[in-house]
Amino acid sequence: MRFTSFSYKYITKCLFGLALLSYAERAWAAELVAHKAFYSLKLGTVSEGSDFIGAQGNVSLSLEHTCDGWTMSQTLHMILATSDGGQVIQDLRFTGWESDDGTRYRFFASNNVDGVRNDFRGRALKVLENGTGNANYSIPEELKVPLPKGTLFPLGHTSWLIERALAGERQVSNTLFDGTQQGVQKVTAFIGKKMQYGEHISKEQGTLLGPLSQRPGWNIRMGFYELDSKNSMPAYEMEVLQLDNGITPSLMLDYQDFTVILTQVRLDDIPLPDCS
């Protein structure tokens, strides 16, 4: 089904509301925080002729430091209601680890739609001197994907976007590899004006979520393209409210004929480990 791989990429990319320490050896400059977040899910806009009339579900995300990198875990449960009275049920699990210096990455993703399951597992390694590398999958077996110079993993990509936003840039592009599909993608992002706390989320939501959400941020619209595609239209899009500390209070997944809205309903700080 067309939307299956879409939600795979959307969720695993945009819900990395990332967490990093300001270690001297790490690859990112943005100051991001470790956290655990929970999201509600509902249907947004629906185009004429769409087969989908409703959506419900939930998402959880956890990012935790391991002294030399960060572990990521995320689950999605989504039920889409169709116009003929049926429903489509999707369950997604993702776990990953990314090194502080941005050169090593491990991942596992499992996507189950109405009982049909697809898994991806592997490792990726980049050479620090020139930024090239390779991803080697164990599932699918013996699949190898070359990583062009400058390719970023999920944590590095989100931090890079925040850095570009802080620098005042409005349109940026880079390449991304997250392992949830078999290839590298080009991501073009359009960054809105910087908003202070109170402009981007309500005071009620900010109070509910706590001080981690009370930060400035930007609306960022992202288009995802296959790396070698000459198509001017993205394969899919999403829009996120990205705070400067990596927290993502809300996001919109654009499935072309309908959208899904995720709203953060709980946000917990995760203590940093003792790495002495």
Hey, what are 137's tokens? 């999958």
Confidence of residue 13 (pLDDT cuts 50, 70, 90): very low
pLDDT in tens, 129-144: 777 999 999 999 889 9
pLDDT value of position 29: 53
CB atoms inside a 10 Å sphere around CB 27: 20
pLDDT of residue 9: 43
How many other β-carbons are positioned within 10 Å of the β-carbon of residue 266?
A: 13
CA–CA separation, 167 vs 164, rounded Å?
Answer: 5
State the pLDDT at residue 30: 66
pLDDT at 255: 83
Three-class SS string for the chain?
CHHHHHHHHHHHHHCCCCCCCCCCCCCCCCCCCCEEEEEEEEEEEECCCCCEEEEEEEEEEEEEECCCEEEEEEEEEEEEEECCCCEEEEEEEEEEEEECCCCEEEEEEEEEECCEEEEEEEEEEECCCCCCEEEEEEECCCCEEEECCCCECHHHHHHHHHHHHHCCCCEEEEEECCCCCCCCEEEEEEECCCECCCCCCCHHHHHHHCHHHCCCEEEEEEEEEECCCCCCCCCEEEEEEEECCCCCCEEEEECCCEEEEEEEEEEEECCCCCCC
Look over the chain and give the mean of its residue pLDDT values, rounded to a whole number: 85
> Would you state the pLDDT for residue 63?
82
25 pLDDT higher than 70: no
Is residue 37 within 8 Å of 240, Cβ to Cβ?
A: no
Q: What is the distance between the alpha carbons of residues 175 and 208, in angstroms, rounded to a whole number? A: 35
| pLDDT value for 274 | 84
Percent of the chain at pLDDT > 90 equals: 59
For the entire predicted model, the pTM comes to: 0.85
pLDDT at 3 over 60: no
Domain extent listing, the chain: 2-269
- Of 48-57, 76-85, 230-239, least confident by mean pLDDT is 230-239
